[in-house]
Chain A
Amino acid sequence: MGHYNILKSVQEDEEMSDIELYLFEVDKNKDEAQRIAAQSVSRLEAKTLKLIDLITSLEPYINDKDDGSIRAKTVTYLADVLSSLPARVLSGQERRLLCDFILGRIEGDAEGIGASARALTALEGMGKWDVATIQNVMRTFIENTHPLRQYKLQTERYALVQLIDLLLAKYRDALRQLHESDHEFMPGFISYFEGEKDPRNLMIIFSLLQVPMTEWDIHANAQDLFDSVFNYFPITFKPPPDDPYGITAQDLKDRLRDCIAANSDFAPYAFPQLLDKLDSTSMNTKRDVLHTIQACVVGYEAKTINLYSVTLWDALKFEILNVQEEDLAVESLKALGLIAAKFAESAEGPLNAYLRPIIKECNEHLEDAPTKQSEAAGRILHALASSAPAVADKIAKGILPVLFSLYNGSQSITKRRGLLEALNEIVAAYVKLDEVRPDLNVEALQAFASDALEAMIRALLHAPRAEVSFRLASLKGLSQLVSIRKALSEKETERAVDAITNIVLHEQIEGHGNIRAQAIEALTGVAHSVPLVVRDRSVPAFMVELPDEPSDVSAQAPVLEAFAYLSTERQVFDTVVLRLKNKYGSARHQEAPKTYQRSLLLALLYAFTFGAPMQEDGITRSTYYTEYAEPLLTDIASSGQGELEHSTLDVIGRIVNVLFRPQGAHFQSTVYNKNLQWLSSAVKDKAEAVSLAPFTLQYYAAIRPEVVDAEDLVSVLKAQSHLARQTTSDPGAIGTVLRHISLLVNKFVNPKTMQATLEASNIEVGALLSGTPAPQAIGAAFAVVKGLLIQGKSGALATRYLQALLELLASEGKDVGRHFATLLAPDDILSKENHCLVSGLYKQKIFNQAVPFMIEAVRTADTSIKPNYLIALSGILRWLPYSVIEPSLQSLIAPLLQTLDLNEPGEQEVKASALIIFESLLMHDPTVVAEHTASLVTRLLNSTTGPANNASVRAKALQCLALAPRQLKREAVVPYRRQVVKKLQACLDDTKRSVRTEAVKCRTAWLGLDEGNDDDE
């Protein structure tokens, strides 16, 4: 009928108005309709259309008696036009008229209500409304469109809710006056939203309701207002997959929680209902309840919480005393702490009333310590005491007298341990407060600090060593007490530090009862809070145990390790390294055993690597280099050849490296030029060069590339290449030299002149490999290629060289195959910290260039040389992340299975790496191996027994085999069950314990297959 009307008017009138065109298009072509509305906008702007004419043109349609949808579409047109109309086009009067026009419509006709709301929203955007308009708009909507749920379209309701939200956000006073002057307003307003279910609308409703909830006096309407939101509790909303609005259940929960916690007047309704829901069997509901209780405690006034504090304690304690889910206990503890914190800010009475029953009950639980309940009591006391100094004070006063009388009244170590653990919980709360609350009063703790100290020191020094947990509790207690300012007197602090130091230095217990590691940790912690005491008492005690010239070096090792570990605390770092340096100086001077000297250097290296040296602009201070590395360099320069052992030079090199490499180019350049002369003259002598190799490698690794000039470089590279090709040197030294070559090639050689430089230095790979290359030449070639591949800047050259190496596999023996493992092996020299060039893609590149070639070679090669390829392939795959291998799994399975058939002792590593790949495969892509189940299971089984397989291969094979029943389809593995379970009996009796452990796990996994069977039948 509507269409008929329009068509008629089309025939009657040549020139159609915009509304007519709009109505004609709106159902067929939304974009065109929008364009028409936009056209009206521009005409209004250009004043070619008067507002009054536009409104008049709407008359027949907006009042269409027969067709509601025509009326609705007409309002939509009006809303579309107003929404895109710039603010200045309409005068204030025109806007007022329009507003009245729209509101007047609503009273008689609810069609197009969403559009009406949009139109009003647009009008409001053109200029602020006065109080009367605001109240009028609100009243009109609440009276004429109540309840919201009568509108079936979410978009319509959404527009209404948005308008109301806008009013509440911008015109709080006007609406509050409306509420205060009209007591009938609020009930209508509250019930207006009843029954809304759409999450998008609810997000806004929960938000707008917070205005009256937090800002208005709603005492009389509290219950209704509360119920209107609590009806939604708990939120069980699950967003549809690919939800375009992105509203999560958590978003709704957060807003709903803010509503519930918004006004203290809700408390009489909120707490009983929340506690009722705390008995729910759903963990998610309980979680929501606990979060909401926390929010209420924060949001409501203290005097309100006071009415419910003991009720809350009685309910919440069960979640802690009988833990169902750990996170529920944690949330309950948090709620209890928040209540205490609330009272701590206000009057003392409510706090006392709250804490009295808690202290009483915790004291009762402590009587039976140690039990689950006494442990829970400790947690409760910790949570409460951490909340505020005033609470900690009352807890200490209420608990400590009872705790210590129980402690002194019992001789049972188990009981005392339980009590000490509870005490530690309270003290730990003091530690936390001490860090953040300068107003912490420790008097109540102080009153018992001496008792606690005595008990702990006695336990630490005199309790049977097997009572590990008792002694550990004492150790923890001592370090906590020390770290609270003013808890202990100076003398007491010293005694505590002495007791801990004593264990670190003098307790020598093998096996069960050894708590040295924890004592070292504790001493380091203590060094943070009382560095002076540690410096004055512990450090000298350590020094006594570290003579300049020890008779038994191995006895010093644990002391030295502990001392080095102290350097992880910045407060004592400088003391530790200084003492170590002096100690090394005296040991060297007095010719102490070389291993002892090296240990002292290792301790220094540990301190500079893992300790906490002072920094400047984010890097280790250069003065450490000057004070610690330089003297070591001078020492090398002035020593005779061979005076310092390789292993010592290696450690010195590493100390120099770690201190030198972060320094800037300017600093480095000065140092480099200072050392250049003695270093280059020293390495001229071949024997000297070999003996210094471990040091020079680390030294060059530290230097920034721009510091070394090209000429120096070629001579260094030449020298190294010369050394590498010596047949007489020992393999260790050659290894160092080869790493040096990789470093130089990677970092210092300009990629543009790479080949020329390599030729000048006699290490051009083509030349190295020509004819029948010597093993030394092959080693040098691999070193060059490694440097190039990781650098990634000389792509074509690297590819050509790699190809040359691959071709060697056909003629040379397995040795060449083994070399391939060096290409990707992790190398702490070729690192970014050492200013090397490390391409992000080099692993992927090597894989692409080498692996397809190898797979093809394995397929076609003669059996005699096939192992060469398998070994080389494994050498590459071993170091690759699974993600790189993953796309090629299908073609890798055959060679990997053949690798498991290699049985020579020298090939265990190769086998182990194949097994590791199978393990990842079974974990991540079991479908790929599914069709090879038979051969995989057989080969894995063959790899589980000696003597052809070493212990780590056997263990890894069992780990893989254990994955099969879990990862592969049941019907694929069941046929092998009997065979596997039987064969594994032998593995249960393996000579190695680690293998037996894996055998038990593996066999359990296969036995488990049977259980599934029972279920089926």
Chain B
Amino acid sequence: MDADKDNANPTILNPSDLPSRRRSTPAAKRPGIFDALAPAYPRLAEPPSSPEPSSASSDSDPDSDREEIDSQEIYDLISTISDPEHPLSLGSLGVVTISDIRITPPPSPRSRISTVTVLVTPTTSACSLTTVIGLGIKVRLMNALPPRFRVDVRIKEGTSRTADEVNKQLADKERVAAAMENLSLVGVVRTMLATCE
């Protein structure tokens, strides 16, 4: 059965070596183990004596500090996509890495359009499913990012023999749309994306 796969025994990254936002949060912001011991009781009995909407809203919900979409967020969106031939995630196979995700801000102050570029590293240079993987990533990001982002998925240079051909296909809106009309392809992509939260 394994003989049919392009790469039957790929190297698997250990989950603890994958980038994650939880681990990269500074320790100072994380709750300490003593915090729950002497909780400050919610003063339900003492509601704000006079309505102070401005201070109340900034206390409970500092919406003013915007958390920008960053490459870790993009990584979290696509690293959990399953590889079409191994029951493993693209993140653990190293097909997508955080360093190969780039967010380019709008080119001019008048434009709102940012660009997300994802470089894909196939598990072998002859991997025949590269296009499908690229398509899956593209579909996932188009559905999950706000419309002010342009999504650019490409094969990392020098990692695939068919890179040019695949890049051309992935960049072509018409061809992506046509591919998503193909029921069997839609099925494969759906299975790949099924493991995304």
Contact = CB atoms under 8 A, between A and B. Distances in A.
Interface of A: 322, 370-373, 414, 417, 466-469, 472, 510-512, 514, 554, 557-558, 561, 564-565, 599, 602-603, 605-606, 609, 647, 650-651, 654, 731-732, 734-735, 738-739, 779, 782, 814-815, 818-819, 821-822, 825, 875, 904-906, 908, 946-947, 950-952, 985-986, 988-989, 991-993, 996-997, 1000-1001, 1003-1004, 1007, 1011, 1014
Interface string B17-61: 101100111111000111001100111111110010100110011
Contacts of A602: 34, 37-38
A991 B66 contact: yes
B197 interface: yes
B77 interface: yes
B183 interface: yes
Given A512-B24, A558-B27, A603 B43 contact: no
B177 interface: no
B43 A732 contact: yes
Contacts of A739: 41
A693 B26 CA distance: 36
B44 A908 contact: no
A371 B11 contact: yes
B45 A564 contact: no
Nearest to A1000: B144
Given A735-B46, A946-B63, A469 B34 contact: no
A564 B63 CA distance: 36
Contacts of B166: none
Contacts of A992: 63, 67
14 contacts: A510-B27, A602-B38, A605-B34, A605-B38, A651-B38, A822-B45, A825-B42, A875-B44, A906-B48, A950-B57, A988-B144, A996-B69, A1003-B143, A1007-B143
Contact of B14 (A469, A821, A947, A1001): A469
B186 A1014 contact: yes
Contacts of A605: 34, 37-38
A654 B9 contact: no
Contacts of A372: 9, 12
Contacts of A511: 23-26
A20 B38 CA distance: 88
Interface in B65-81: 65-67, 69, 73, 76-77
B148 interface: yes
A1001 B53 contact: no
Given A985-B147, A1003-B144, A996 B73 contact: yes
Contacts of B73: 993, 996
Contacts of A1007: 143
B62 to A, nearest CB: 9
Contacts of B26: 510-511
Given A654-B37, A731-B43, A905-B57, 20 more contacts: A370-B11, A469-B14, A469-B16, A510-B24, A557-B32, A561-B32, A605-B34, A606-B33, A779-B45, A779-B46, A904-B53, A906-B47, A906-B48, A908-B60, A950-B60, A952-B61, A991-B63, A996-B73, A1003-B143, A1011-B186
A648 to B, nearest CB: 10
B146 A731 contact: no
B44 A819 contact: yes
Contact of B146 (A510, A985, A993): A985
A993 B17 CA distance: 23
A1015 to B, nearest CB: 9
Contact of B37 (A609, A779, A875, A988): A609
B150 interface: no
Given A564-B33, A989-B148, A950 B143 contact: no
List 3 tightest A-B contacts by C-beta distance, closest first: A950-B61, A989-B146, A511-B24
B45 A735 contact: yes
Contacts of B45: 734-735, 738, 779, 782, 818-819, 822
B102 interface: no
Nearest to A988: B146
A993 B19 contact: no
B106 to A, nearest CB: 14
B172 interface: no
Contacts of B165: none
Given A512-B24, A985-B147, A322 B63 contact: no
Contacts of A514: 23, 27
Contacts of A1011: 186, 190
Given A564-B33, A905-B57, A1000-B144, A468 B16 contact: yes
B2 interface: yes
Contacts, number: 146
B145 interface: yes
A637 B81 CA distance: 63
Instruction: Please classify the interface of chain A as helix (H, G, I), strand (E, B), loop, or mixed, using the class held by over half of its residues.
Output: helix
A38 B186 CA distance: 76
B196 interface: yes
Nearest to B76: A997
A604 to B, nearest CB: 10
A874 to B, nearest CB: 12
A1014 B144 contact: no
A346 B1 CA distance: 39
A160 B179 CA distance: 69
Contacts of A951: 61, 63
A947 B63 contact: yes
A12 to B, nearest CB: 82
A308 B185 CA distance: 47
Nearest to A658: B37
Max chain A C-beta neighbours (<10 A), residue from B25, B45, B197: B45
B196 A1004 contact: yes
Contacts of A564: 33-34
A469 B9 CA distance: 20
B103 to A, nearest CB: 14
Given A469-B14, A561-B34, A993-B73, A825 B23 contact: no
Contact of B17 (A467, A650, A815): A467
Nearest to A515: B16
Contacts of B47: 814-815, 818, 906
Contacts of B51: 904-906
Contacts of B42: 825
B8 to A, nearest CB: 9
Contacts of B145: 988
Interface in B108-150: 143-148
A112 to B, nearest CB: 59
Nearest to A734: B46
Given A511-B23, A1004-B143, A599 B61 contact: no
A599 B34 contact: yes
A768 to B, nearest CB: 14
Contacts of A908: 60-61
Contacts of A819: 44-45
A1014 B186 CA distance: 10
Given A818-B47, A950-B57, A647 B38 contact: yes
Given A825-B44, A1003-B143, A603 B23 contact: no
Contacts of A558: 27
A306 B145 CA distance: 62
Given A731-B43, A782-B45, A825-B42, A603 B144 contact: no
A416 to B, nearest CB: 13
A370 B12 contact: yes
A735 B39 CA distance: 13
Contacts of A1003: 143-144
Contact of A565 (B24, B25, B33): B33
Contacts of A606: 33-34, 37
A950 B190 CA distance: 33
A817 B16 CA distance: 48
Contacts of A988: 144-146
B44 A991 contact: no
A732 B9 CA distance: 62
A602 B27 CA distance: 19
Nearest to A823: B44
